[in-house]
Structure formats: C-alpha cells, structure tokens
Amino acid sequence: MLNKVICGDCLEVMRGMDDNSVDLVVTSPPYNKNGFRNGKKDTERSSGKYKRWDGAKIDYDIFDDNMEENEYKNWQIQVLNEIYRILKDSGSLFWNHKVRRFENKADHPLIWASKSKLKFYQQIIWDRGGGCDQNINYCTPTTELILWFVKNKPQVFKNKIYLTEIWRMNFDISNHPAPFPKSLVERCLLLASKENDTILDPFLGSGTTCVAAKELGRRYIGIEISQKYVDIANRRLAQEVLNL
C-alpha cells in the first residue's frame, strides 16, 4: 500500500489499514458545498451525471458533494475516528476546512469535528489572498482553516521551519476544482514529519499531498474515489520522478 494511489472509498480503504501505521495525515475533505443553501436541499445544481457549482462550473467527477447536512457531519466524524485509529501516538492530522454557511448562520467545523476521538491542537489560518462575493449579506471570505488534530503528544519539528499561525499563500493552478497549494502541504510535512515517515491523504484529489511527500523523502498513501483524479495524480507523480 505504501507509495501508491488507491482508487476507492476512503473509509473502506482506511478500515483495511493497520492500527498505528501512519505518521501524518494532510487532507482537504469535500465541504458539502452543493448540499444545502439556507437549509434547503439543492437538487437543481446537476449537469448530466455530475453535480457542479453553477457559477464556477466546478466538477467533482463522480462525487456529487450533496449530502444532507447531518449525514455529512456524521460521515466526517467517522473519517476522523478512522484516522485516529491508524495514526501513531505521535501522529498529527492537518484538516483543511472552512467556516460554512448553514441556515443563515456560520458553521465552524470544529464544533462538530471535536466530537471525534482526535484532540484539537491548534487552528492555523490559511490566507488565500482573495475571494469572490457569494453573498452580499456577509463579508467576502478570503481565508480557510487548517485544523491541527493529534492523537496524543505529536512530533513537531518547528526548529526546521519558522511559522506563525497565519499562512499566506495563493491557490496553485490545478486540474482539480478545489486544490490546496503544494507549499501548504510542504509546511505541514516539515512541521510534523521526518524523512521516511508515512503520509496519508484520504481525499487525494489531483495528488498534491503525495507529490509533496515524495519530493521531501516521505512515504505516501493516497486515496481518491475518482479514477479520473487517480490518473492525474499518478501522472504528476511520474513527472516528479522525471524531474528529480
């Protein structure tokens, strides 16, 4: 399973992994963006067999990002608990999420993610440097959260990289609709892992976490439900080998 990208459901794949086998998880789960608008299920945002954000034409391939809100939260808690099981005692999870809008109020993911077995360690603010107006009734969001969770006492290598709790970096150009920058993943890897550690991303997307892990001498496991994005990730990893 090491140094591979696996096409499958992340919960099913992780349930086949050994306890205490992963040093670090860096991931950005689906945000359930298409699921609800002001408490009403959004059933009109489909295009063919795929769901999209209509304005941005964002395509998640086979995943429709359209769960009922409580179902989504319960699913994410299951994912977090499975990550807890496979993390080593010194392991960390960096979980990229955002404050969401639901039923005309802000919905901070920490409120419900804290129901998992993982311990909340620190909140890091990712300043994306810009945003777009999606609702005139509140200020334009230009940040996302990197929520740092741990199992017990984590390994931390802050002496290797100076960081504050605000990380300013723009999106990378990517074949995936919701990428995070490779530089963001690199900071997480340098902060909480060392060479030959095992890095997991259960929502791999186009492969950024695995590419960064390979470049920094870490072993990696990527899980992605879409074969389309598995293929993209494998091409990026192959290209990374050619560039060494």
Residues 53-106 pLDDT 10s: 344 344 544 445 567 888 999 999 999 999 999 999 999 999 999 887 777 788
Mean pLDDT of 118-147: 85
pTM, 2 dp:
0.84
Predicted confidence band at 182 (pLDDT cuts at 50, 70, 90)? very high
228 has a pLDDT exceeding 70 = yes
The residues with which 53 forms a beta bridge, in sequence order, are 58
pLDDT range class, residue 131, cuts 50, 70, 90: low
Give the model's pLDDT for residue 171: 65
Average the pLDDT over each of 22-36, 97-111, 165-179, 217-231 and give the range with the smallest value: 165-179
Query: What's the pLDDT score for residue 243?
Result: 54
Backbone angles phi, psi at 16, to 5 degrees: -90, 0
pLDDT at position 45, please?
34
Query: Across residues 160-168, what is the average pLDDT?
Result: 85
Buried b vs exposed e over 165-201: b needs ≥16 C-beta within 10 Å?
eebeeeeeebebbbbbbbebbbbbbbbbbeeebbbbb
Domain positions in the chain are 4-242
Is 183 strand, coil or helix? helix
pLDDT at 170: 78
Specify burial of residue 162 (Cβ count, 10 A radius: 0-12, 13-18, 19+).
exposed
Least Cα distance to 82 among 24, 144, 19 occurs for 19
Report the C-alpha gap between 162 and 88 in whole angstroms. 25
Q: What is the mean pLDDT of residues 219-229?
A: 96
| Three-state secondary structure call for residue 166 | strand
Judge contact between 133 and 94, C-beta under 8 A.
Answer: no
Domain covering 4-242, topology = Rossmann fold (3.40.50)
- Percent of the chain past pLDDT 90, that is, above it, reads 61
